[in-house]
Amino acid sequence: MNTQNRTNLAATVRRLRIKRGLSIRGLAAAAEVDFGWLAKLERDPSVSPGARVLRSLAQALEIEAAELFLAAGIEDEESLPKLAPYLRAKYDLPDDAVAQLEAHFELLNERHQRGGRRG
């Protein structure tokens, strides 16, 4: 994980912690990580947590672990959830609706990857 990824991860953790109304001590306790280590993570781009810690933080922040993995620059396809199973489970959608949504998300992703915006 490079310095930019660690900085992005630190900002993401801090933003989500504040959004949830948690102190650093509160998040550390909920995630079962050391308070001093978590305080350092938020302010020092040399801290590089492992996957287990990212999962613990995500659970304590009530988010998908993939969000922290992405913030850290970890884009291993195997570690990220797939859209189709989520849509089926969460919304009980038929296969054709899931396929349409996946196509729409892919189109949005392509537009934003190119940096273009269309109204």
Same domain, 63 and 43: yes
Same domain, 68 and 89: no
> What pLDDT was estimated at residue 36?
93
- Expressed as residue numbers, the domain containing 7 is 3-75
The Cβ of residue 111 has, within 10 Å, a number of other Cβ atoms equal to 12
From the list 105, 106, 87, 108, the residue with the least C-alpha distance to 97 is 87
* Segment 24-73, tens digit of pLDDT: 999 999 999 999 999 999 988 787 888 888 989 999 999 888 888 888 88
104 vs 81, more confident: 104
Same domain, 64 and 107: no
Same domain, 54 and 96: no
Q: What is the pTM of this model?
A: 0.62
> What CATH number corresponds to the domain at position 61?
1.10.260.40
**Domain presence at residue 15:** yes
Angle at 98 (CA atoms; ends 113, 72), nearest 5 degrees: 40
Same domain, 50 and 12: yes
* Segment 78-95, tens digit of pLDDT: 555 677 777 777 787 888
